[in-house]
Structure 1
Amino acid sequence: MSDAPTQTAITRAFVLAAGLGKRMRPITATVPKPLVEVAGKALIDHALDRAAEGGIGEAVVNIHWLADQMEGHLLRRTGAPAITISDERDALLDTGGGVKKALAHFGKEPFVVFNSDSFWLEGPRPNLSRLIETWDSQAMDILLLVAPTATSLGYEGAGDFFMDADSRLSWRGEREVAPFIYAGVAILKPELFADTPDGSFSLTTLFGRAVERERLYGLRLDGQWLHVGTPEAIAAAEARVKESATAP
């Protein structure tokens, strides 16, 4: 990575909120996962509020499952970021296809992608601001916020990535345990979608291509990532939030 990152103002985001939330059932049989509340606030509002704190002025949010509930909730929000809805009622496009459908909203500038259930306790400095400050458009195709596998609450997998001394990321092997997991926030360039499939595909396709070019980078989350993937994980996350609020 170059010594002096090339700074670009990043003020737009895409929030992935169209998934079916199967692991959160039975709650998500009647409530879309982004509207599940943790610590008194819907998951998507945690994400959008973090976006606003990081200087994001405009956000595109995709909707599919229980779309009317999602649309109603988003229309009732006030303040930043200004929200545009990307309607996927007719067909679920997965993470990559969902972003590609909305590319016209981002022009040629890099933008942030959030998972709507990205949820963490902040460290001394807000992680989204750190991510945007770290972005280097000359060296990077994609920059991911990554969390330590061992200390992420509610996560029991083997991790996603290794990180070298220059913060480049590489995938873990099939039988390996990796020290970092993707924390659900990334900065991407629009041109990465130029030769992607039409319809449904995953953003991991773009992550893999960036790894091959040695242009996938990571920033270690400062704080603690809380994986809210199941009904049981909600109580654990809320307990951790309460504990952090009362800590000296």
Structure 2
Amino acid sequence: MSPVSKKTRTKTPPVTTAPAKAMVMAAGLGLRMRPLTLERPKPLIPVMGKPMLDHALDRLEEAGVASAVVNSHYKGEMIAAHLAGRTSPAITLSPEDTLLETGGGVKKALPLLGTDPVYVVNADILWLDGPSPTLARLARHWNPDEMDALLLLMATTKAVGYEGRGDYHMDPLGRLTRRSEQEIAPFVYAGVQIVKPELFGQDTPDGAFSTNRVWDRAQEAGRLFGLAHDGLWFHIGTPDALAETEEMLSMSDVSVVTT
């Protein structure tokens, strides 16, 4: 009888599902967007006929997100009124009496977010998908066994409306390293991530703090990863950036739904 050959064991990737909850960051003051933000909060400024906040929420709805927490501060009552009739995703508001910045805003919302990984999306960015839907692509790359946060990144040289020096270097495995003060980094954070909510409650201050504190701790543990976006991406932080975005979208072969 011939010997029984041993089967080669391969590492089985963890079975994951796309996040069912999300948080949309909509509490900024929008100072650089003045005078457009004198009458309304920045998330309600329309791009191609649709408020930026609705662009983000519609993408989350398409990705199967059932519920979303939206924080607010400046003219928050207008955001609340705008979202009052929305049922998909189901909206829970997290108003901030004082501005808590990105990290503090998520920490305040932790009782609403639960413990499973969530999408966090900035309300002042807009993206067009590449060959596959961006949020689904991010979810396919998410590995909770190895990652605490997975950031969508955009090539700094291709980011529309962005004039900074970039945020991160990324190695071939996707691990991220923040650029030093004098460096120029090839990637900028694209305003979309999957993250474990627990990170915002561990050794973080009460009140305002930046998500950078959470990311830096994940980087030190080797658990901060990135994924390069493969479509167009727009940072809409000023009236000029808004005009540039709408001009490019109007010339694009990819339609942007406005209803």
**Offset of 1:82 from its aligned partner?**
0.6
- Give the one of 94, 97, 108 matched to 1:86: 94
- Give the one of 161, 180, 203 matched to 2:168: 161
Q: Is the 8 A contact 1:6 1:135 kept in 2?
A: no
2:48 aligns with: 39
* Unmatched runs of 5 consecutive residues or more in structure 2: 1-10
CA distance in 2: counterparts of 1:164 and 1:128, whole angstroms: 22
- Give the one of 133, 137, 149 matched to 1:142: 149
Overall identity of the aligned pairs, in %: 52
Change over 3 Å in CA distance of 1:14–1:119 after alignment to 2: same
CA distance in 2: counterparts of 1:54 and 1:69, whole angstroms: 26
| Pairs within 5 Å for 1:13-28 | 13-28=22-37
Which of structures 1 and 2 has the bigger CA Rg? 2
Moved more, 4-13 or 141-150: 4-13
**Offset of 1:10 from its aligned partner?**
1.0
- Give the one of 121, 124, 132 matched to 1:117: 124
CA distance in 2: counterparts of 1:59 and 1:71, whole angstroms: 13
Q: TM-score, normalised by structure 1?
A: 0.94
1:132 aligns with: 139
- Give the one of 60, 64, 70 matched to 1:61: 70
Give the partner amino acid of 1:189.
Answer: K
**Mapped pair 1:100 → 2:115:** no
**Offset of 1:6 from its aligned partner?**
4.1
Give the partner amino acid of 2:248.
Answer: R
CA distance in 2: counterparts of 1:85 and 1:176, whole angstroms: 38
Change over 3 Å in CA distance of 1:5–1:178 after alignment to 2: farther
CA distance in 1: counterparts of 2:175 and 2:196, whole angstroms: 17
Q: Is the 8 A contact 1:113 1:188 kept in 2?
A: yes
| Pairs within 5 Å for 1:219-230 | 219-230=227-238
Give the partner amino acid of 1:42.
Answer: P
Give the partner amino acid of 1:37.
Answer: P
Q: Is the 8 A contact 1:16 1:62 kept in 2?
A: yes
Moved more, 157-166 or 101-110: 101-110
In the TM superposition, structure 1's runs of 4+ consecutive aligned residues that sit over 6 Å from their partners are none
2:226 aligns with: 218
Q: Secondary structure at the match of 1:76?
A: coil
CA distance in 2: counterparts of 1:75 and 1:171, whole angstroms: 39
Q: Is the 8 A contact 1:8 1:137 kept in 2?
A: no
1:182 aligns with: 189
Q: Secondary structure at the match of 1:124?
A: coil
Q: Is the 8 A contact 1:160 1:182 kept in 2?
A: yes
**Mapped pair 1:76 → 2:85:** yes
* Unmatched runs of 5 consecutive residues or more in structure 1: none
Q: Is the 8 A contact 1:113 1:186 kept in 2?
A: yes
CA distance in 1: counterparts of 2:65 and 2:76, whole angstroms: 24
Moved more, 32-41 or 191-200: 191-200
Give the partner amino acid of 2:176.
Answer: L
Q: Is the 8 A contact 1:6 1:137 kept in 2?
A: no
